[in-house]
């Protein structure tokens, strides 16, 4: 009996691990899409309203998907509370603080970092161009992430369950 | 004169990236700094009250540009980003006119590549040169001339023209005069009058987001960044001030506006670029103004060891009062 319960626990743990690993693949396209939507909001704030960046970021955080809003909030916080901070600095600090909560890959973070160095440094048209470029790149990443999600999510889930089951059988 | 002078070293240093902050923070001459000039890949230059100096990488003043610290483009971008609150795009009008007014009334002059649209500057690209002009508020700068500007009993304000060569402190002087006319001068039994300040170049009141950063008096209304001629008319019509003050008059269209103000019984206090009264007499605008015979006081400033020295006060006929 006890053995049976132990075996079930091992199978369960394997499944959960697999789901978590697969979950990363499932979350990534969703979060990348939320990110493009949020960047689009930022672009609108800048090109139509010329809202100063700290306020624009707060506004984006308020309206964006809850998954990505901590990032924008953190960037706004750094700009507002530390005098003498550049947009690039605030942006990368925010990425360092909140990046791990997002299912981002290094290449996604790199796109964001590149955008950060351009923020607030030029006229509205140019700002809009920089943001559009980042949006396009993230969109492309989202497309491939979607394909990955279909493939790997199931794979990891099955692998997790399978490994758990195999271990249970071996240990039984 | 300068009895109350406040020097915002810390506020200014915050604009600079760590490398420059460190360098400039070590300087002992902050009270004298009028301008900090930064150009990409060129030496860091300080303009002090009397002369200019380069700053060496160790933070000392040097005369030879070869020994000076070379400013990088990255540092320029950094300063620009911080000065604009990471939102240069929100300052399009200001960039077009070539400078940004900062908190505290300081201004950051910009140079770069002009992008034109229908012959007008649309924006500046590749901004690679900055000139930080430190705003100085010298309370009491106009003390010496107040008895000449406010005369009679009951006391009234005279039409006044302040003349000075560049960088001799005429804006600082006019600001203090406006402040005192507006707040009143107890020593002269002068209760203070409403002043309409037309601040075309945002230098007098140094408005930051519409709020004056420098003391201009309790009864002063400011029209920020407004062309003088239009501004004077608007002020006279909408605010009915006792005094209209403006900086650097001299264009043909200013003449009509000044005349309008005179007709409305408003006193005019203004400044003009000139080293002497004779020099002005050759310029059409002033010939016209003198023909009207309305200016009651000329105040001549000179730049000697310190800006803002009053060289002479003349009455409307050119007779020396001081």
Band of pLDDT at residue A21, cut at 50, 70 and 90: confident
Task: Find, in chain A, the residue whose alpha carbon is nearest to that of B115.
Answer: A123
pLDDT at B2: 39
Give CA–CA dist B170/B156, Å, rounded. 22
> In chain A, pLDDT over 70 holds for what percent of residues?
100
Give one DSSP letter per residue of B201-231, joined into a string: TS-SS-EETTEE-S---TTEEEEET--HHHH
Does the predicted TM-score (pTM) go above 0.90? no
Task: Find, in chain A, the residue whose alpha carbon is nearest to that of B74.
Answer: A117
pLDDT at B183: 94
Inspect the interface and report whether the beta carbons of A121 and B123 lie closer than 8 Å. no
- In the predicted model, residues of chain B with pLDDT beneath 70 are 1-7, 305-306
Inspect the interface and report whether the beta carbons of A124 and B77 lie closer than 8 Å. no
* Of B137, B120, B121, B134, nearest in space to B4 by CA: B137
Q: Indicate the residue of A52, A85, A126 with minimum beta-carbon distance to B90.
A: A52
Chains A–B, number of C-beta pairs less than 8 Å apart: 61
Give CA–CA dist A143/B122, Å, rounded. 38
Q: What is the pLDDT of residues A113-149, one digit of tens each?
A: 999 999 988 889 999 999 999 999 999 999 988 888 8
Inspect the interface and report whether the beta carbons of B81 and A123 lie closer than 8 Å. no
Q: Indicate the residue of A50, A79, A126 with minimum beta-carbon distance to B86.
A: A79
pLDDT at B108: 93
* Of B13, B75, B86, nearest in space to A90 by CA: B86
Q: Distance, in angstroms, between B50 CA and closest chain A CA?
A: 30
Mean pLDDT for all residues in chain B: 87
Judge if ipTM > 0.95: no
pLDDT at B54: 95
pLDDT at B136: 80
Give CA–CA dist B78/B233, Å, rounded. 41
Give one DSSP letter per residue of A20-45, joined into a string: HHHHHHHHHHHHHHHHHHHHHHHHHH
Strand ranges inside B134-228, DSSP E: 138-139, 150-151, 156-157, 160-164, 195-199, 207-208, 211-212, 220-224
Give CA–CA dist B238/B259, Å, rounded. 17
Inspect the interface and report whether the beta carbons of B90 and A79 lie closer than 8 Å. no
Count the Cβ atoms, other than its own, within 10 Å of residue A9.
Answer: 12
pLDDT at B305: 66
Q: Is the peptide bond before B154 cis (omega within 30 degrees of 0)?
A: yes
């Amino acid at each position: 009996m006890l053995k049976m319960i132990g075996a079930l626990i091992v199978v369960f743990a394997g499944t959960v691990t697999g789901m978590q690993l697969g979950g990363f693949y499932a979350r990534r396209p969703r979060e990348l899409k939320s990110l493009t939507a949020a960047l689009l909001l930022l672009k609108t704030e800048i090109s139509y309203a010329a809202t100063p960046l700290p306020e624009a970021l707060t506004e984006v955080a308020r309206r964006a998907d809850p998954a990505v809003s901590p990032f924008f909030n953190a960037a706004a916080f750094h700009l507002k509370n530390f005098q003498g901070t550049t947009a690039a600095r605030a942006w990368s600090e925010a990425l360092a603080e909140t990046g791990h909560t997002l299912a981002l890959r290094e290449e996604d973070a790199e796109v964001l970092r590149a955008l950060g160095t351009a923020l607030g440094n030029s006229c509205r048209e140019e700002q809009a161009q920089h943001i559009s470029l980042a949006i396009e790149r993230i969109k492309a990443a989202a497309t491939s992430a979607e394909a990955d999600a279909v493939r790997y999510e199931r794979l990891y889930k099955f692998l997790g369950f399978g490994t758990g089951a195999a271990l249970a059988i071996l240990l039984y | 004169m300068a009895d109350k002078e406040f020097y915002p070293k810390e506020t200014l240093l915050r604009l600079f990236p760590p490398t420059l902050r460190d360098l400039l923070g070590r300087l002992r001459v902050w009270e004298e700094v009028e301008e900090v000039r930064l150009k990409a890949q060129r030496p860091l230059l300080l303009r002090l009250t009397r002369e200019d100096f380069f700053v060496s990488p160790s933070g000392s003043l040097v005369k030879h540009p070869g020994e000076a610290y070379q400013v990088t483009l990255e540092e320029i971008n950094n300063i620009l980003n911080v000065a604009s609150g990471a939102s240069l795009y929100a300052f399009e009008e200001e960039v077009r006119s070539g400078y940004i007014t900062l908190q505290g009334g300081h201004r950051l002059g910009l140079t770069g590549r002009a992008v034109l649209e229908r012959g007008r500057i649309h924006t500046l690209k590749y901004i690679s040169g900055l000139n930080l002009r430190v705003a100085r508020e010298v309370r009491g700068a106009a003390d010496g001339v107040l008895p000449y500007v406010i005369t009679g009993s009951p006391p009234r304000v005279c039409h006044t023209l302040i003349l000075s060569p560049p960088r001799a402190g005429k804006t600082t002087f006019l600001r203090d005069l406006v402040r005192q006319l507006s707040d009143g001068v107890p020593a002269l039994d002068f209760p203070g009058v409403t002043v309409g300040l037309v601040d075309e170049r945002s230098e007098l009141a140094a408005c930051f987001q519409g709020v004056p950063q420098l003391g201009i008096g309790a009864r002063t209304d400011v029209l920020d960044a407004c062309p003088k001629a239009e501004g004077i008319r608007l002020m006279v019509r909408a605010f009915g001030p006792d005094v209209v003050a403006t900086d650097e008059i001299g264009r043909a269209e200013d003449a009509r506006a000044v005349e309008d103000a005179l007709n409305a019984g408003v006193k005019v206090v203004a400044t003009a670029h000139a080293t002497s009264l004779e020099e002005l007499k050759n310029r059409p605008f002033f010939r016209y103004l003198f023909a009207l015979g309305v200016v009651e006081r000329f105040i001549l400033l000179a730049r000697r060891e310190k800006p803002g020295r009053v060289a002479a006060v003349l009455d409307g006929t050119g007779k020396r009062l001081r």
